[in-house]
Amino acid sequence: MKVKGFTLIELMVVILIVGILAAASVPMMRGRIDSAKWSEANATAGTIKSAVRVYFAEHAASPTGVLSNATTQALLGFTAADLTGTYFIPGNYNITGVNANGQATVAVTGSQSNAPTGTKTLSATGTWN
């Protein structure tokens, strides 16, 4: 009678391969998770850019400043709840400038404990840096 099964060496090789694959995939997944978190900021910053452009068209003036300021929020038609997301809050968004065409540059800084770190800027041309 012959016993069939895997040897200890074969099992250890399989475990080693699975470990190597896991070690390689964790940093790639971490980058994807941060990218997904920044997509929330990108969507909100785009909405802010649109609101600034509408305000500029109606009033020929350009609001700037951090959007935790209730006056700036009211000028653009936002409430604090409109700008509060899972990872970013109104104080994370800063209108750093508005060009002659009413296109805003919006800087976003992650400050929440679960937010990604760093600062990214949505430029007047629409590029995300």
Q: Is residue 4 part of a domain?
A: no
Alpha helices in the chain (DSSP H): 8-59, 70-76, 80-83
Range of the domain at 92: 10-122
Query: For position 82, what pLDDT does the model report?
Result: 85
> In this structure, is residue 19 part of a structural domain?
yes
Specify if 81 maps to a domain.
yes
The lowest-confidence range among 44-48, 52-56, 89-93, 98-102 is: 98-102
Residue 67 · residue 89 · CB < 8 Å? no
How far apart are the C-alpha atoms of 53 and 63, rounded to whole Å? 10
1: in domain: no
Residue 128 lies in a domain: no
**92 contact partners, CB below 8 Å, separation of at least 6:** 41, 108, 109, 110, 111, 112, 115
Query: What pLDDT, on the 0 to 100 scale, is given for residue 115?
Result: 79
What is the token pair recorded at 65? 């400043």
Report the 10 Å Cβ neighbour count for 128.
15
Q: Is residue 86 in a domain?
A: yes
Query: Does some domain include residue 3?
Result: no
With a threshold of 0.75, does the pTM exceed it? no
Q: Is residue 129 part of a domain?
A: no
CB 99 within 8 A of CB 53: no
Question: How many domains are there within the chain?
Answer: 1
What's the confidence (pLDDT) of residue 12?
95
> Which segment of 31-35, 44-48, 65-69 scores lowest on mean pLDDT?
65-69
What pLDDT is attached to residue 28? 84
Structure-block tokens of residue 18: 């699975």
